[in-house]
Structures are given as C-alpha cells and as structure tokens.
Amino acid sequence: MSKQLLEQLQTPALILDEARMDRNIERMRSQMRRLGVSFRPHVKTNKCIDVARRFMETPEGPITVSTLLEADYFAAHGVKDILYAVCIAPNKLDHVMALQDKGVRLSILLDSMETARLLVERAKLAQRSFDVLIEVDSDGHRSGVAPDADELVEIGRFLEENGIVVKGVLTHAGSSYDCASVEAIRAMAEQERAAVVHAAQRLRAAGLACPVVSVGSTPTALFAEQLEGVTEVRAGVFVFFDLVMAGLNVCRVDDIALSVLATVIGHQREKGWTILDAGWMAMSRDRGTAKQAVDQGYGIVCDLDGRPLDDFILVGANQEHGIMAHRSGKTDPALHLPVGTQVRILPNHACPTAAQYPSYKVLGADHEITATWPRFSGW
C-alpha cells in the first residue's frame, strides 16, 4: 500500500502533528514530576483513545472527562479511574450507576446543598454509594462553593452523615485564560492552590478525611511554582495547544499540534481576499483571541510545513468559506495564492475545532500521513 501524503488529502481535514504533540506531552510530564503530584489528564480536548494513551499514567487511567459519553467511550477502552468534572445533574445518575455496574470508578462533582440533597435521596432509593468531590470556587470564574463558605462544611457533613463519603475537593482556575502575563498566571496558580487547600483543611478540621485535593488548567499547571497540599493536577488542551494558549505565552505558535488543512478555491482581489474551503464549520466560531493583545481572526494561515505565512490570518468565515487576508488589510495582487494551493490553519481553540471532525489525520515526517485516529463528539 502506497503512503498517503498531506497534499493528497481532501479538504478540509484535521491534521495532528505527532512530533509537536509528543513534545507537548513531555513538557507537561516533566512539570508534573517537578511538582511531585499525580496527573489526571483531561480528555475533553482530544476525545480519542489513541491520543489519550500517549499521556495516561496507566491503561486504566486516571483521566478527567467533561461528558458521560466520554466516560462511556474511555471505559469501553479499558479506562476505570474516571472523574466527571462537571457538577452532576440528577437526570444523569442512572448513567453514572450504569458505568459503576461496568466496574468504572467514577467520581462525580457537586457544589450545593440542593444537589447534595438530591444525590442523597437518589442514593437511598437506589441503595447506592457515590464517590463525590466538592467543587471549590478559587477565582469567581464559573462554579463552585467559596472556600470560606459555611456551606462547604455543611455539604460535607450532610453527605457523610447520609453514607456518602466526600472523596475530596476540586477547583478549576478558568480565569487563568484571562491573565495578561506569565507572572499573572503564576499568581493565579498560587491562588488556585491556596483556595482549594484551605477548603480541604476546613473539611478535615470538621472531621472529614478529604484525601483528594485536585487543581487544574493548562496555564496554571504549566506555571505553578509549587503545589504543596495538592494531590493531583488536571489539564487537557496542553496536548495540542492553540492560539489562545500562544496569546497567553503558555506556548509558542510552533508548539501548536492541531491545524486544519484547507485549499484555495478563489479570490476577491480588489478586497485582498483569498477564499478557502474551510469556514466556521471547519474552524468553529470560537474567537477566543479577539480579547487578547493580538486578534488572530479565525486562525493563523501557515504553509504545509506549519510555518505561518507572512501575517496572513482567516479574517472572516462563512459556513463553508474562509476568508484569508493580510492582517494589515493590504491588497497587493502578489499576495494571492493560486487556486489549488493548500494551507494549514492554526485554531483559536483546539477543543471546538477538533469537535468538527470524526478523526485526526496524523502527520509524520516528510508530509506523510501515518495514521487516521477516530475521535467522537456529543453527550
């Protein structure tokens, strides 16, 4: 069977640069070793067992998921230690129990007495037990109970009095994505650590063992200076990186392992536009760099070796059409690439871009496609 080359793919296609990915994984592993904590990688970005096997500590995990479909998929591939890191909804408890019946050690999350009461009610009805972590709000970003709130201890005591052991506490410093400097990310990492460790100490003082203290975001994981009191770290987008991470100086542009292969299909020369066959259905509508110092449009345009072209970005996108133009807006005819030319576009956010595709085309040396790795989407 003859080998397939990048240039032979029908576009748009999702390209995974294997060498860059492996380099990114080793960077995170090295940081975890330095910090002396266990790693519970998040699989929501890749949704692919072939990728996850590269960074899981063992074939059985541990991993973090953001959907129960992810838990189903990875459990079917032999993963047993899974944390579902979204606050549990009561209508998902049947699904949780079905996973337990398959031998999955599935931990779930909550952050309110309201949810705790519903969980206890269901546990008693089903004569079940659940592994529960309490989510702690370390930065006001999204969800979680404040580390100093009375409700934190009330939730813990209520659960344990009703036969549900509090496995630990968890937080996610999502505000790290808004930091303006590496120094600010380091400060956020310490804020994240201090908040969740304080929450764990309060629960222990109330008589709860609270063995797990879990933190995680790619920026804080990579820039934390110390994690005293933390037992595990979660992170996911590090495996691919993206332009949002590059805009935070968490990675370099040439660390980004994910790209979309596209083809030039036309021009609007008077406007300085080159039209590609990759619009927002291929890239996603994510415009995460718009609030950063450098707005990358819908993505940076690169040559087939993954090297950025001379300040070209995707300035606009329709469903199936991408508009490539020079960042400056200049309309020099010499800037237009011929119809049929292929380019690679680096995404703003790896998660939603990857979600548009059923598989990765794995890129090796010399433009060779070495494998096709299936991925999945949905809930």
Beta bridge partners of 58: 61
pLDDT tens string 70-111 = 999 999 999 999 999 999 999 999 999 999 999 999 999 999
Res. 330: pLDDT tops 90: no
Model confidence band, residue 336 (pLDDT cutoffs 50, 70, 90): confident
Query: Which of 167, 31, 176 lies closest to 110 in space, CA to CA?
Result: 167
- Extract the tokens encoding 124: 């008693």
262: three-class secondary structure by DSSP: strand
Q: Which pLDDT value is given to residue 219?
A: 98
Nearest Cα residue to 238 out of 227, 230, 246, 229: 246
Query: What's CA 216's distance to the chain center, in Å?
Result: 11
Q: Are 173 and 141 in contact (CB under 8 A)?
A: yes
User: What is the per-residue pLDDT for 310?
Assistant: 86
Cα separation values, 48 from 42, 180, 349, Å: 11, 32, 17
The domains found in the chain, sorted by start residue, are: 19-239 (3.20.20.10), 253-374 (2.40.37.20)
**End-to-end C-alpha distance for the chain, whole angstroms:** 37
Whether the CA torsion 17, 23, 29, 35 is positive or negative: it is: negative
What are 22-73's pLDDT values in tens digits? 999 999 999 999 999 999 999 999 999 999 999 999 999 999 999 999 999 9
Whole-angstrom distance, CA of residue 285 vs CA of residue 292: 16
Backbone angles phi, psi at 17, to 5 degrees: -80, 105
Bond before 62 cis per omega within 30 degrees: yes
User: pLDDT tens-digit profile of 167-178?
Assistant: 999 999 999 999
